[in-house]
């Protein structure tokens, strides 16, 4: 995919001259209400969401099950009709320019859904045809090489392993060279090696200029890959910041004291502190930096008879932030 891609493939074959948009995806006041058929009230899956995905980012969209992540993605993908608000893809309103807007996005869904009687090569060729990609411009073998399926190009899809089918979903999302790639739980239920291969491919695409939007339940993945993260809970965005800023929301650290002899109980001198004994017999004390003194904690531990062999300080991670922002309002 060319790094200087400015506009997505055009189904209507009409040239565009505008500049590259600053935002890859944009939602303003986005609402989705599902109406119940019998009894009960309506379900508001999205409650006036505002969201901006910067062009060129790896953007994480996180939240508990049922928070509204997939609903939002499906609105952009054209699979769900919004109730209110506006949504833009690559600067194009999905209502005013539906075909052109959706030509700018490739979506890898959670569910594996493809024709089992096609080969990978045929699947990509048909998908390219649906997007109006001329045969001379198709990159079928190049994409199969990229996802490691070139040697399976003529196999039946039904004969592929689950991991290979996941890779084929990624390949299908790339046939029209979209500047935006959305991955909805792409590594759910796959092994470690496949996850590694998938992220290598995603990083390569990102280096070539593709904006990547990722939903995942693996928080360590999001922390490692994403430069910006939004957390959505019960249809509302509760945070949207650069990953580093999000991690700095937690004003606590953990001091781990490794004693010369494993401990079985917290010393009385640390009463009032958030202190626990770890499985290895080490002492872990959660403290608020800037408000509580590490020197005082260490002195209290020594007074309590703890012989200190080593010390370590653990920084908060994305899981801590996620739980703080969502635990108070569980599904």
pLDDT tens track of the chain, all 331 residues? 333 333 444 444 343 435 789 999 999 999 999 987 776 678 899 999 999 999 999 999 998 888 899 999 999 999 999 999 999 999 999 999 999 999 999 999 888 888 888 999 999 999 999 999 999 999 999 999 988 899 999 999 999 988 888 889 999 999 999 999 999 888 776 778 778 888 888 888 899 999 999 998 888 888 889 999 999 998 999 999 999 888 877 778 899 999 999 999 999 999 989 999 999 999 999 888 777 889 999 999 999 999 999 999 887 778 778 887 777 544 4
User: Could you give the CA distance from residue 169 to residue 139 in angstroms, rounded to a whole number?
Assistant: 15
Q: Which fold has domain 252-315?
A: Alpha-Beta Plaits (3.30.70)
Segment holding 170, helix H or strand E = helix 162-173
Q: What is the DSSP letter of 20?
A: P
User: Could you give the CA distance from residue 92 to residue 95 in angstroms, rounded to a whole number?
Assistant: 9
Beta strand extents in the chain (DSSP E only) = 23-34, 43-54, 58-62, 84-89, 92-93, 105-108, 180-184, 211-215, 228-233, 236-242, 252-259, 274-277, 283-288, 308-314
CA 244 to each of CA 224, 225, 240: distance values in angstroms, whole numbers, following the listed order: 11, 12, 11
Residue 125: phi and psi, rounded to 5, are -65, -45
User: Could you give the CA distance from residue 184 to residue 40 in angstroms, rounded to a whole number?
Assistant: 30
Residue 301: phi and psi, rounded to 5, are -65, -45
| Closest to 48 measured CA to CA, from 67, 29, 70 | 29
3-state secondary structure of 263: coil
**Which residue bears the tokens 């399976």?**
152
DSSP one-letter string for 89-132: ETTEETTTSHHHHHTTEEEE-SS----TTS-HHHHHHHHHHHTT
- Asked if 311 and 258 touch (Cβ cutoff 8 Å), the reply is yes
User: Could you give the CA distance from residue 63 to residue 234 in angstroms, rounded to a whole number?
Assistant: 9
Q: Which residues contact 99 (CB under 8 A, 6 or more apart)?
A: 11, 12
Please, where in the chain does CATH 3.40.50.300 lie? Answer: 23-247
What pTM value is reported for the model?
Answer: 0.75
Q: Which fold has domain 23-247?
A: Rossmann fold (3.40.50)
- Asked if 24 and 214 touch (Cβ cutoff 8 Å), the reply is no
Please, where in the chain does CATH 3.30.70 lie? Answer: 252-315
Segment holding 182, helix H or strand E = strand 180-184
pLDDT the model gives residue 142: 93
Residue 238: phi and psi, rounded to 5, are -100, -10
pLDDT the model gives residue 115: 84
């Amino acid at each position: 995919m060319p790094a200087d891609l400015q506009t997505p493939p055009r189904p209507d074959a009409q040239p565009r001259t505008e500049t590259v948009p600053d935002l890859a995806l944009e939602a303003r006041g986005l609402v989705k209400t599902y109406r119940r058929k019998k009894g009960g009230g309506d379900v508001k899956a999205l409650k006036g969401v505002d969201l901006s995905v910067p062009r060129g980012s790896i953007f994480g969209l996180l939240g508990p099950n049922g928070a509204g992540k997939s609903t939002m993605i499906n609105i952009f993908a054209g699979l769900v009709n919004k109730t209110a608000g506006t949504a833009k893809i690559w600067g194009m309103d999905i209502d005013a320019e539906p075909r052109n807007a959706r030509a700018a996005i490739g979506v890898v869904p959670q569910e594996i859904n493809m024709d089992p009687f096609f080969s990978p090569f045929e699947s990509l060729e048909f998908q390219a045809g649906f997007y109006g990609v001329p045969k001379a411009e198709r990159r079928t073998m190049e994409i199969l090489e990229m996802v490691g399926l070139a040697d399976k190009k003529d196999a039946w899809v039904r004969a592929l392993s689950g991991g290979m089918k996941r890779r084929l979903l990624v390949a299908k999302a790339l046939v029209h060279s979209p500047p935006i790639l959305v991955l909805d739980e792409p590594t759910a239920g796959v092994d470690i090696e496949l996850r590694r291969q998938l992220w290598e491919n995603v990083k390569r695409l990102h280096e070539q200029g593709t904006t990547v939007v990722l939903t995942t339940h693996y928080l360590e993945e999001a922390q490692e890959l994403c430069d910006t993260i939004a957390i959505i809970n019960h249809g509302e965005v509760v945070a949207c910041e650069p990953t580093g800023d999000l991690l700095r929301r937690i004003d606590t650290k953990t001091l781990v004291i490794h004693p010369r002899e494993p401990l079985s109980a917290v010393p009385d001198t640390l009463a009032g502190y958030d202190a626990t004994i770890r499985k290895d017999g080490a002492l872990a004390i959660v403290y608020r930096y800037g408000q509580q003194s590490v020197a005082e904690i260490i002195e209290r531990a020594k007074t309590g008879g703890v012989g200190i062999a080593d010390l370590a300080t653990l920084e908060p991670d994305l899981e801590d932030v996620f739980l703080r922002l969502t635990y108070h309002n569980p599904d």
